[in-house]
Amino acid sequence: MKMLKKVSTKGITVIVAIHDLNLALRYADQFLLLKEGRIIAMGDERVISEQNLQALYDVEVQKVDVEGQSYILPLLD
């Protein structure tokens, strides 16, 4: 991921399909959320919201910031 981020700073667009949201939040600057082939949301980090993720995965999550880095935490029943 570090190598891809470095390549993207040279004006090259990099598209990565990833399911690890915390890793995506660490490296990506744009997001596209898909469910069953349909777009749920697209844009910057703000689309990785608790509401969008609940709609996408049907699970409650909490988005927290630690020292300027966002993390997604699943909430247990």
Summarised one tens digit per residue, pLDDT across range 5-58 is 888 888 888 899 999 999 999 999 999 999 999 999 999 999 999 999 999 999
Q: Is residue 46 part of a domain?
A: yes
Instruction: Confirm if 31 and 48 have CB atoms less than 8 A apart.
Output: yes
Q: Is residue 4 part of a domain?
A: no
Q: Is residue 49 part of a domain?
A: yes
Domain that holds residue 50: 18-74
Model pTM? 0.81
Residue 51 has a CB neighbour count (10 Å cut-off) of 9
Q: Is residue 53 part of a domain?
A: yes
Number of separate domains in the chain: 1
